[in-house]
Amino acid sequence: MKKFGLVLLSVFLTAQVFARDVLQVDAELYFKDQLKMKSPFVVVLGDSSTLAEEGRDGYKVTMTADKHMDNSYTLHNEISNYTAAGFNLLVNESIKLPLNQSGTIEFAHKDAGNVKLVLKIVKQLEADLDENFSQPIR
């Protein structure tokens, strides 16, 4: 009887569902005033989202998000450029934004020149996800 109870407890614990905020963040990345990427990110709070392009003039942007009590979000961004040695981290910068308001992270880098990341949170929803934050529960 004890084994049966442990099996049920194990099944219950592995089938937990969590409600998580999911954001759609529209992003535009510019290097030296040239558009490199214009794409939406889907960011699940507590997880990261990455877009990258390898090769000449490549880039990588990794984004995570935190929610605040005023229903705004802080978007944490790692911006890298691609070099012969692989990806080179240029900056790790954060910006606080409410829903439907644009914000810009802009800086100059000795190798990449002027870099600008324009962000706008265009959608927010709450989704039920499994404990791995990977599978929607229907």
pLDDT of residue 125: 87
> What pTM does this model have?
0.79
What is the per-residue burial (b if ≥16 Cβ within 10 Å, else e) of 14-23?
A: eeeeeebbbb
pLDDT tens by residue, 2-34? 444 444 444 444 555 567 789 999 999 999 999
> Cα–Cα distances in Å, from 89 out to 37, 59, 111?
17, 10, 11
Specify the DSSP class assigned to residue 2.
Answer: H
pLDDT tens by residue, 52-105? 888 888 899 999 999 999 989 999 999 999 988 889 999 999 999 999 999 999
Question: Would the CA dihedral through 126, 132, 136, 137 be positive or negative?
Answer: negative
pLDDT of residue 2: 45
Determine the Cα–Cα distance for residues 26 and 14; give it in Å rounded to an integer: 34
Determine the Cα–Cα distance for residues 3 and 14; give it in Å rounded to an integer: 16
